[in-house]
Chains A and B, each alone.
Chain A
Amino acid sequence: MATYQEFIQQNEDRDGVRFSWNLWPSSRLEATRLVVPVSCLFTPLKERPDLPPVQYEPVLCSRANCKAVLNPLCQVDFRAKIWACNFCFQRNPFPPSYAGISDVNQPAELMPQFSTIEYIVQRGPPTPLIFLYVVDTCLEEEDLQALRESLQMSLSLLPPNALVGLITFGRMVQVHELSCEGIAKSYVFRGTKELSAKQIQEMLGLMKPAASGPQGRPVAPQDPSATCRFLQPVHKVDMNLTDLLGELQRDPWPVPQGKRPLRSTGIAMSIAVGLLEGTYPNTGARVMLFTGGPPTQGPGMVVGDELKTPIRSWHDITKDNARHLKKATKYYEALASRAAVNGHSIDIYACALDQTGLLEMKCLSNLTGGHISMGDSFNTSLFKQTFQRVFSKDYNGDFRMAFGGTLEVKTSRELKVSGAIGPCVSLNAKGPCVSENELGVGGTTQWKICGLSPSTTLALYFEVVNQHNAPIPQGGRGAIQFVTQYQHSNTQKRIRVTTIARNWADAQSQIQHIESSFDQEASAVIMARLGVFRAESEDGPDVLRWLDRQLIRLFMFHLRRSPFLQVFNNSPDECSYYRHHFVRQDLTQSLIMIQPILYSYSFHGPPEPVLLDSGSILPDRILLMDTFFQLVIYHGETIAQWRKAGYQEQPEYENFKHLLVAPLDDAQEILQNRFPMPRYIDTEHGGSQARFLLSKVNPSQTHNNLYAWGQETGAPILTDDVSLQVFMDHLKKLAVSSAA
């Protein structure tokens, strides 16, 4: 195992790939018996400080329907200057520039350590990054002020040549013109009227350039002045925009008592999408929506403005009582598709105590690779830091974001692509390696990922199509090539190519090998994604049942309890939020999400991970739980009392002080790196916030069985949920009785 673990780790480090199986069953039949399909988690832009991009074009296989990129797995005849494609076996001559190639003079892409390689290519003129702020003004003054400051701050984080635009909305939608001197101009749209993209562009006066520009090409360069009135380089409008933001007023329209403010989120987004569509199609752009409540009017409205009508709950949804749900969802999906087509990604920063309609709007981000951040208020560090972190930079000083990515997957003949799950949309690229059996977003070998970050991870599912009666020769290897084209945040166009290969194994003869190549962590995440994907697209109970059937074999107790699948206790918005992040984070983070990590701090020794069990909740411990979304520091009863008594202030109890500080430091470390910022909770025994912890731990002790367990330590959880023990018992029973 050790070797496999190392292998897995090495592969992940180098290629950003984790397969569920690292030996592949050589026939379809065997593969299906394995329940967990051959699949992988792939992080296309995994940070590779050690990987310098090469400054030339990749060499492609000349076969029209292959076009695989020259890679270390290819057989090369240095004398004939010919290489054979390892996917289609086409023999290709090297291009003239490779004339000097030889055994000792190989291009990088042929070296084994460059199984992942990045090319910088010249495709058209460089286009600056575009950031379009879409700001809700129906906020409390305090919130608005905080948001204003965050936005003003963000201007300083943007590269000077980045284009920036501002749309504000409330009852009306205002598109602000940034180029003007003197009078601040804005175009105003009413928030209730749906407009076609053409109308929007017409009304914004964008039609002329659109007419002159060739289809599908950015027109910006020709008519910067005409198209850019709303999108201006930061360095030009810095002051202007700062003032504008500073003067940003709360939506002035009166909100009668008992009503919600009228919020035209739907139209605002439609205008944002339309604006970019008309000016910078196929150019990396980020629409950032800041909203403080649910859309309450116009298309895309999630709830009416009557306060007496609460926003939909799971209950309403189940009972089909959510009037606007389907319509709004459909509306935002259409918008998302449009944005995706043009390579624009959409972020949603929703800060409100109540739901904000993420359930309906989530596709805006999900399909375009945008972020979703959910918080209680813009005036919290959660939002402020999350937002700030969007603009964090990597070791090169570049943004950790990339735009307009397309991921293409090529497989060797024995494999076909079933689908992908992640922040992507299908490009509907049919090809020989498209499987008819769809898992996730399938039916294609190419996906568009409008917004990418180094941690963006897709789950890709494959199908072994080799027939049982056509065995693969011993030592045969299957290969998969991932080709990711994207716009780097420094506006370069890049192509990253990752080519991997795994050995085929006969399941009958080498079952142990296959077993040992199983990557439990990856599989868990991959299956969980599948579950989430199904949960998103199908009815809840059905998914749970499906999952149960799968889980019987996987024992994923926590996943079943996670907010990704379990909607109880979570609002629809929260679920959407959690799921959004689950399907895009890398393996480590995903695992945390599935099974939160619990550390215990005590005087008894260094911090130690403990079971996520109610039994771990002891009076003299401090617990640190990381669920990815929340970071909970829980002070046990005794500790809490001590802390209250102020012992930590007394010099003689310095050790206690250290104890108190230790989890804080650890938490800080986590907070530093995580995106989005987790909700940071500092609580204690009996605190209301302790619920975050109690809801996660395995309810081994409940009010029902407290005394039966008879342990003196631990905290009883007031829940009717079954504990892991019961779950396991039940599983065993099932496994024995109905293991069909």
Chain B
Amino acid sequence: MNVNQQTPMASPYGQPQPGYGQPSYATLGGGYPDPYGPYNGPSTAYQPGAPPQGYSPYASFPSKAVAEIPVSDLSSPLDLGSARGPPTSAPPPVSTPQAYSHYTHGDTQNGPPPMNHPMAQPPVSQPYSQSAMNLSGPQSSYPQQYGAVPPMQQMTNQMSGMQISSGPPTSAGLGYAPRPSSQPLISNTYLAAAPPSYTQAPPPVSAAPSQPPPPSEPAAPQPYYGGHPALQQQQPFPSSAPLQSQPFPFQPQTPPVSQQQSFPPGPPSQQPFPNSASLPGPPPVSYADPHPTQQPFPPRGPPPTSQTGSFPPTSSPPAQYLGPQPPSQPGPPPYLSGPPPRGPMPPSSMSQQQANHLPPGSMQQPPQPGMQGGYPPQQNGECTWLPTSLLSPMRYGFYAVFSSSGAFGQPRGPQPGYGGPQYPMQQNYGAAPAPAPPPPAQKRLDPDSIPSPQASELPAVQKSRHRIDPDAIPSPIQVIEDDRANKSSEPFTTGVRGQAPPLVTTTFQVKDQGNASPRFIRCTAYNMPCTADMAKQSQVPLAAVIKPLATLPPDECPPYMVDHGEGGPIRCNRCKAYMCPYMQFIEGGRRFQCGFCSCVTEVPPHYFQHLDHTGKRVDCYDRPELSLGSYEFVATVDYCKNNKLPQPPSFVFFIDVSYNAVKSGMVNIVCQELKTLLDYLPRENPEVDSAVRVGFVTYNKVLHFYNVKSSLAQPQMMVVSDVSDMFLPLLDGFLVNVNDSRMVIESLLDQIPEMFADTRETETVFGPVIQAGLEALKAADCAGKLFVFHSSLPIAEAPGKLKNREDKKLVGTDKEKALFQPQSGFYSNLSKECVAQGCCVDLFLFPNQYIDVATLAVVPVSTGGSVYKYTYFQAETDRERFLNDLRRDVQKPMGFDAVMRVRTSTGIRATDFFGSFFMSNTTDVELAGLDCDKTVTVEFRHDDKLSEETGALMQCAVLYTSCSGQRRLRVHNMAVNCCSQLADLYRNCETDTIISFFSKYAYRSILNTPTKTVRDTLVNQCAQILACYRKNCASPSSAGQLILPECMKLLPVYLNCVLKSDVLLPGADVSLDDRAYLRQLVSCMDVSESHVFFYPRLLPLVKLDGGSLPMAVRNSEERLSKGGVYILETGLHLFLWVGANAQQELLSNIFGTPTFSQIDPNMTNLPDLDNPFSKRLREIIDSFRSQRSRYMKLMVVKQEDKTELIFKHFLCEDKSASGGASYVDFLCHMHKEIRQLLS
């Protein structure tokens, strides 16, 4: 089939294209020529980067399989479609013309190449051809990512529109508006293709060929030759295949059965479309047109509009983007007619739809879960993507075949969130679901199994067939929901070695049965490869994200305290591992053998205990250290610095009182807050006053220390102007007990704002500030934390003086990395001293301009401190966020002067560490401060073989001083399985943790490596991981299939989010400081934070009743309904997005005003309204805030408001303004990479 398809495909494309081309071109040519021109520019620019990739693929492709080429051709058309996506955006139009022109050229060129390729292809098996198809898709995706794509996409869109009525289907595209449009188109195409492939692989193929060929040829050539990047990018769109599913719903209208056929018909339909353009075309045309037309072609534009009108979901997006389209609407009527069929679907209002959908979704999901149950669903627990496009006439259709529940379920999942059209789809699915599940069973059968559902969906043809249906690709939301459904009910017991814990997004209870709770340690893999070779082959990082002092939920018991008496904790003689459940007692209990190094150690007499018949100590369950994964030892004086029991720690507050700080209101706020905050210093026993002493310093160009001795009537200020050589001007009275000196302290805090109210000093110092704190702690001989509230780049003459080095021109160059490195070595040296003293620095920044976070953060980062940044701080709007951060930072439980050591069993060892700490040697992680939010990520590497029997053990021991001055040792033990089969590895890994690790790794790499290289490395490694799976674990299937391991099916989408993050791919408006800030922030995030940071949580606000949250929707603009209100949370930001057509009732409930225009976009808190909805919403917001270590300021984003750009930035499945690929594009790209690796 494939073969046939391929060949046919090529031809079909060519044909279809012509069909498309003619109509569309004509129009295009007429209207868009100019616009394209501009686009070319960019595209070319991008191309440089892209080309290589494109080329490489090509090279490989040709050599490998001819089929690929054809596929590529096919893809190219798709790409074109995707290219149109861009058109959706305002600029696109312009580009389109050019693109078109290119296309034309490309077509011609392509024409030949394809020819050649086909030639080559033949040798290749059909599957290859399919793969080729896919590959082409992916390839195209790359380019797209880079940006050149747009034009291509446009082209494709046009093409699609031209070729297939599917074009019209893109109406969905309308819905998607800018980005989506491009994708949608493709997706449509894909969809179309995909279904066919599944249902009737051959037919579709044939169909596809017939139609696609023309486009493919033209498109393909283009990509390869000139616009590779573009083409590739376009291809990604194909990935949008998921959309197909949506379109399908529409198709349902058309004969569902026919759907599959429809694909085949697709071709026909396509033809029809062309026709439709004239005749039946209306519906399809409408879609096709919409996209292309929306921008480029006014005529088409109308259709979209019509769609918009007709389909709430689609309409909303289009509306946003397609402002211009409306005019075109006139045309719509006919299109509208098209929509009407959908209409029925759409009719269900968004809400309804959602409601409806939700159920279906859930329905669908459940089955999946069931399927997944174990890994059961899929033997490998894999998701298989079928580039059905190949099969079917559709060129790109990717089929995400989640062998397990995955594939279909997921697509559907997203749908719920989706707009109207989708809903219908879902509904269909709902009906179809039943059928859908079966496909899962089919798993790899992918094409066949899937097709059926798709077939049903096929009606979706409405959407452009060229696209991959976003709903067909793995959905994070679905995965999260599934996990939640499956795992939140039962407590997670840690006793089973090698069992992956529930996802971080799932609420669950933990029972410690000998391994550390996932709240303390999460591993990337719970089945480690036995050998280094395996590990290397799989490229799966072996790492653990450790949060040693994590706060546990109230229903879980904090680690028990163990006291082994004066001798201190019992340890292995050789490796010094602490007593733990892995120690094997032998010789009747007189000795124990270390589980880590196998050394045998005598049991001290006072610790002796008899063994029972199983060889366990009789007191095993009486002793936490023998039965639990996490516990604490009381450390003896041997574990203390200078062999002296430590003093309780101290907190020193450093308040910048320069002009900016005073003016912004920061000084006032801090002083006011400290008055009450000091009553909440950390303590272990709530009954007792905190042992933490406090001190105060203000500073600008000089430092002002305060003597707040209790015996004084008034505080005394001591100014140290000699900042070049910092010293502590006073001893007695600087660090005081809050209760003793309360009066003096309050007097001081009252007077500070007054004293500096009229200051004219604008310069500040920074180095001396930390030096001063360090000296203070040294003098008091204690550990502690410095809270520095700082406002500007320290340019005053002093050690650590900095200069403004922000240079936007360096961004993107090889010199960029220097900007992430500190300006001078001063702060690095200083931080060493700080660590030696146990002086942790928390930095609160209030910059109005460049402040060089990269340098200022050196000390906080090296000392286990935190950095908080409040750019353009304004008392009114940022006060709450700052104060909440401050409160939490002051109160949070933490340890001081900590040393962490990770011991592992023979065979692996900890080789690399990420986080906020300092290391003076290769094994000891030194943390001046370690709070409950900080994680240390440890990477392991093999230095020998592991055995499957013993597994791999790790013990993380943290020696620290508690806030009451007690020296303790916290021990976390973790055992994971070892496997000799790669499949086991892939079955027991955690994508969230892997992504967390990758991001930390990448964020550190940019210090020394050009950012682009870092991104490429990430993509590479990810591709290798997946390729390795495909090669070694997946059951044989066509190369055109994208097969993802079940556990890693979200790897691409998450990785894409990492790649698109501000740090790795900055937009023009992202400052260097922001990037440096995020960089250090991510380095010590736990998995849950990094997860939401990279893939924000987007919740539709509908029917907030009951205790549960509404189901999240995927982060794509397509998912937003103009009539809805959404909340988006990233862990750092909190947005409330209000659709322009939001219901009055909704608005009244939330804002107290029924009119959209009266909503104050500057509000940071919702009004306190007395209605259940408002209450629940505020509860939700509060709960979000309480879950995160940093307070999130609420930002109200009104649709089409300026601030919406910021909001859109977090819709990470969409193409980003900075050039980041959309999910679909990236998936295609990834697929291409994988195929390349496989071939």
User: A183-B716, A184-B714, A254-B731 provided; 13 other pairs, C-beta below 8 A?
Assistant: A182-B754, A182-B755, A183-B714, A185-B718, A188-B729, A190-B725, A193-B725, A195-B722, A199-B722, A203-B722, A247-B712, A247-B716, A252-B732
Chain B contacts for A254, CB-based, 8 A: 731
Chain A contacts for B720, CB-based, 8 A: 187-189
How far is B705's CA from A174's CA once the two chains are assembled, in angstroms? Answer: 12
CB nearest neighbor in B for A193: B725
Chain B contacts for A193, CB-based, 8 A: 722, 725
Chain B contacts for A174, CB-based, 8 A: 718, 729
How far is B779's CA from A254's CA once the two chains are assembled, in angstroms? Answer: 10
Contact status of A202 and B721, CB under 8 A, knowing A172-B729, A252-B732: yes
B751 & A253 in contact (Cβ 8 Å cutoff)? no
Most central of A199, A205, A249 by chain B CB within 10 Å: A249
B721 & A183 in contact (Cβ 8 Å cutoff)? no
How far is B719's CA from A177's CA once the two chains are assembled, in angstroms? Answer: 10
B727 & A172 in contact (Cβ 8 Å cutoff)? yes
How far is B748's CA from A649's CA once the two chains are assembled, in angstroms? Answer: 62
List of 3 A-B pairs having minimum Cβ-Cβ separation, nearest first: A203-B721, A188-B729, A252-B732
How far is B714's CA from A247's CA once the two chains are assembled, in angstroms? Answer: 10
How far is B60's CA from A640's CA once the two chains are assembled, in angstroms? Answer: 123
* Shortest Cβ distance from residue A640 to the other chain B in the assembled complex, whole angstroms: 49
How far is B721's CA from A193's CA once the two chains are assembled, in angstroms? Answer: 13
A186 & B716 in contact (Cβ 8 Å cutoff)? yes
How far is B704's CA from A203's CA once the two chains are assembled, in angstroms? Answer: 12
* Shortest Cβ distance from residue B395 to the other chain A in the assembled complex, whole angstroms: 75
How far is B264's CA from A193's CA once the two chains are assembled, in angstroms? Answer: 90
How far is B725's CA from A184's CA once the two chains are assembled, in angstroms? Answer: 24
Chain B contacts for A195, CB-based, 8 A: 722
Q: List 19 A-B contacts (CB under 8 A).
A: A182-B714, A182-B751, A183-B706, A183-B714, A183-B715, A183-B748, A183-B755, A184-B716, A185-B704, A185-B719, A186-B717, A187-B719, A187-B720, A190-B722, A203-B702, A203-B721, A205-B721, A252-B731, A252-B733
B721 & A186 in contact (Cβ 8 Å cutoff)? no
How far is B702's CA from A205's CA once the two chains are assembled, in angstroms? Answer: 10
Contact status of A204 and B731, CB under 8 A, knowing A183-B755, A184-B716, A247-B712: no
CB nearest neighbor in A for B754: A182
* Shortest Cβ distance from residue B371 to the other chain A in the assembled complex, whole angstroms: 71
* Shortest Cβ distance from residue A148 to the other chain B in the assembled complex, whole angstroms: 15
How far is B733's CA from A252's CA once the two chains are assembled, in angstroms? Answer: 9
**What total count of A-B pairs have CB within 8 Å?**
70
Chain A contacts for B748, CB-based, 8 A: 183
* Shortest Cβ distance from residue B624 to the other chain A in the assembled complex, whole angstroms: 42
Chain A contacts for B729, CB-based, 8 A: 172, 174, 188, 190
How far is B733's CA from A202's CA once the two chains are assembled, in angstroms? Answer: 27
Chain A contacts for B717, CB-based, 8 A: 183-186
* Shortest Cβ distance from residue A575 to the other chain B in the assembled complex, whole angstroms: 36
Interface 0/1 of A152-196, CB less than 8 Å to B: 000000000000000000001010010000111111111001010
* Shortest Cβ distance from residue B252 to the other chain A in the assembled complex, whole angstroms: 78
* Shortest Cβ distance from residue A229 to the other chain B in the assembled complex, whole angstroms: 11
B45 interface residue (CB < 8 Å to A):
no
Contact status of A188 and B725, CB under 8 A, knowing A183-B751, A252-B732: no
* Shortest Cβ distance from residue B728 to the other chain A in the assembled complex, whole angstroms: 9
CB nearest neighbor in B for A171: B731
CB nearest neighbor in A for B721: A203
* Shortest Cβ distance from residue A298 to the other chain B in the assembled complex, whole angstroms: 12
Contact status of A249 and B727, CB under 8 A, knowing A203-B722, A204-B721: no
B730 interface residue (CB < 8 Å to A):
yes
How far is B593's CA from A149's CA once the two chains are assembled, in angstroms? Answer: 74
CB nearest neighbor in B for A173: B729
CB nearest neighbor in B for A191: B727
Within 8 A of A (CB), among B707-760: 712-722, 725, 727, 729-733, 747-748, 751, 754-755
A249 & B755 in contact (Cβ 8 Å cutoff)? no
Within 8 A of A (CB), among B659-718: 702, 704-706, 712-718
How far is B100's CA from A620's CA once the two chains are assembled, in angstroms? Answer: 134
Chain B contacts for A186, CB-based, 8 A: 716-719
**Chain B residues proximal to chain A, CB less than 8 Å:** 702, 704-706, 712-722, 725, 727, 729-733, 747-748, 751, 754-755
Within 8 A of B (CB), among A331-372: none
Chain B contacts for A177, CB-based, 8 A: 719
How far is B750's CA from A395's CA once the two chains are assembled, in angstroms? Answer: 51
Chain B contacts for A202, CB-based, 8 A: 721
How far is B732's CA from A249's CA once the two chains are assembled, in angstroms? Answer: 10
* Shortest Cβ distance from residue B979 to the other chain A in the assembled complex, whole angstroms: 61
How far is B704's CA from A184's CA once the two chains are assembled, in angstroms? Answer: 11
How far is B733's CA from A620's CA once the two chains are assembled, in angstroms? Answer: 61
CB nearest neighbor in B for A203: B721
How far is B721's CA from A202's CA once the two chains are assembled, in angstroms? Answer: 8
CB nearest neighbor in A for B748: A183
Most central of B715, B720, B721 by chain A CB within 10 Å: B721
* Shortest Cβ distance from residue A336 to the other chain B in the assembled complex, whole angstroms: 24
How far is B712's CA from A172's CA once the two chains are assembled, in angstroms? Answer: 20
CB nearest neighbor in A for B755: A183
CB nearest neighbor in A for B716: A184
Chain A contacts for B730, CB-based, 8 A: 172, 188, 252
CB nearest neighbor in B for A175: B719
How far is B102's CA from A54's CA once the two chains are assembled, in angstroms? Answer: 107
How far is B1146's CA from A458's CA once the two chains are assembled, in angstroms? Answer: 99
Within 8 A of B (CB), among A184-228: 184-190, 193, 195, 199, 202-205
Chain A contacts for B721, CB-based, 8 A: 187, 189, 202-205
Chain A contacts for B718, CB-based, 8 A: 174, 185-188
How far is B732's CA from A390's CA once the two chains are assembled, in angstroms? Answer: 35
How far is B836's CA from A210's CA once the two chains are assembled, in angstroms? Answer: 43
Chain B contacts for A252, CB-based, 8 A: 730-733
How far is B702's CA from A183's CA once the two chains are assembled, in angstroms? Answer: 17
CB nearest neighbor in B for A243: B713
B727 & A190 in contact (Cβ 8 Å cutoff)? yes
Chain A contacts for B722, CB-based, 8 A: 189-190, 193, 195, 199, 203
Chain A contacts for B755, CB-based, 8 A: 182-183
* Shortest Cβ distance from residue A6 to the other chain B in the assembled complex, whole angstroms: 63
* Shortest Cβ distance from residue A207 to the other chain B in the assembled complex, whole angstroms: 11
Chain A contacts for B716, CB-based, 8 A: 183-186, 247
How far is B1211's CA from A569's CA once the two chains are assembled, in angstroms? Answer: 92
B751 & A188 in contact (Cβ 8 Å cutoff)? no
Select one of A188, A199, A253 contacting B705, CB under 8 A: A188
CB nearest neighbor in B for A182: B751
* Shortest Cβ distance from residue A170 to the other chain B in the assembled complex, whole angstroms: 10
Contact status of A253 and B731, CB under 8 A, knowing A183-B755, A187-B721, A203-B722: yes
CB nearest neighbor in B for A195: B722
* Shortest Cβ distance from residue A288 to the other chain B in the assembled complex, whole angstroms: 22
How far is B755's CA from A187's CA once the two chains are assembled, in angstroms? Answer: 15
Most central of B712, B713, B714 by chain A CB within 10 Å: B714
How far is B720's CA from A183's CA once the two chains are assembled, in angstroms? Answer: 16
CB nearest neighbor in A for B731: A252
* Shortest Cβ distance from residue B731 to the other chain A in the assembled complex, whole angstroms: 5
* Shortest Cβ distance from residue A35 to the other chain B in the assembled complex, whole angstroms: 56
How far is B720's CA from A384's CA once the two chains are assembled, in angstroms? Answer: 33
Chain A contacts for B733, CB-based, 8 A: 252
Most central of B704, B713, B717, B755 by chain A CB within 10 Å: B717
CB nearest neighbor in A for B726: A190
* Shortest Cβ distance from residue A356 to the other chain B in the assembled complex, whole angstroms: 24
How far is B717's CA from A184's CA once the two chains are assembled, in angstroms? Answer: 6
How far is B727's CA from A399's CA once the two chains are assembled, in angstroms? Answer: 41
* Shortest Cβ distance from residue A726 to the other chain B in the assembled complex, whole angstroms: 60
* Shortest Cβ distance from residue A240 to the other chain B in the assembled complex, whole angstroms: 11
Within 8 A of B (CB), among A250-283: 252-254
Chain B contacts for A249, CB-based, 8 A: 732
Most central of B702, B719, B720 by chain A CB within 10 Å: B719
* Shortest Cβ distance from residue A524 to the other chain B in the assembled complex, whole angstroms: 52
Most central of A182, A188, A193 by chain B CB within 10 Å: A188
How far is B12's CA from A304's CA once the two chains are assembled, in angstroms? Answer: 98
